[in-house]
Amino acid sequence: MMIDNENTTILITGGAGFIGSNLCEYFIGKNYKVVCLDNFATGHRHNLSAFVDHKNFTLIEGDIRNLQDCKKAVPGATYVLHQAALGSVPRSINDPITTNDVNVSGFLNMLVAARDEKVKRFVYAASSSTYGDSKGLPKVEDVIGNPLSPYAITKYVNELYANIFSSSYGLETIGLRYFNVFGRKQDPNGAYAAVIPKFVMQLMNNESPVINGDGNFSRDFTYIDNVIQMNERAMTSQNPDAINTVYNTAYGDRNTLNDLVGYLKEYLSEFDAKIAAIEIVYGPNRAGDIPHSLASIDKAKELLGYDPQFSIKEGLKEAVGWYWNNLKN
């Protein structure tokens, strides 16, 4: 069955955020009708500027914590790509109530609205934080540990609710456990900025990045284009065995923070040779951080045909060019 893109509407919640705005841009480029629901708490209008006036794009300013806003956004959508959430482990430790309101109550509102409008499929952002204190590497979807932060609890609760909505109401759901996504449009500012854009900005300003711990913690850094591919495959899959489950969304390789900074210095010094000599500063470990993360992506490859094209090095080369051209002071 081919999807008739021009007559298919995708609702992307959190569509003004980093991942959401990249999804909006991609699917508009494939002639889908795209509706974005965002309250701009962490998203930005400038992330939408390239397509905000496009005939196939609709912006609804609203908050997933308000059921009426969800009910306003869903009608007409065949698919929901639910990205709206409050990210960040430290934010959730500082303010667990707001994190829960958005990530659990807001998620439930969206599920209810999608169920009531008989949406075909609900694809949602899950998280690698769900693995918690599980020791084994690589991380395999059906072996998780105890959560290490309020954020991790909220994202696991998303999976539990999605399962119930599949089994009780017949709503097709697919959860994507994102692993350390990076790339264009990721916000380098604010107390809860992700590590890559934050380090990029510091290096471009000839400041020393501060690594939490000794730099030997490792992550499966995942370029945004791999994540876009995964969302598209989850949304369009015709494989009945592929739905109502969760998938790791990653590259399947791990790099330490020291590796990461080495790559960033190498690629950024092509724009400014002084960056190669910047010293790295090491600080204490951060609460709630897991030491190592590495995804098995076998399940996604087998059931969805996932084929990530960008390693950390390939992704960083693209990303630093974008950062230099868009964020250099």
User: What positions carry a catalytic annotation?
Assistant: 151
Q: Using alpha carbons, list the distances in angstroms from residue 230 to 12, 16, 227, 249, 279.
A: 15, 19, 5, 7, 37
| Structure tokens, 19 | 């991942």
- Distance of alpha carbon 54 from alpha carbon 264, whole angstroms: 35
Q: What are phi and psi of 69, to 5 degrees?
A: -65, -40
Nearest of 30, 127, 118 to residue 80 by alpha carbon: 118
| Structure tokens, 78 | 């065949």
| Residue 315 · residue 239 · CB < 8 Å | no
Nearest of 279, 146, 286, 134 to residue 217 by alpha carbon: 286
Query: What is the torsion angle, in degrees rounded to the nearest 10, for the CA atoms of residue 113, residue 16, residue 231 and residue 326?
Result: 180
- Distance of alpha carbon 43 from alpha carbon 64, whole angstroms: 13
At 228, the amino acid letter reads I
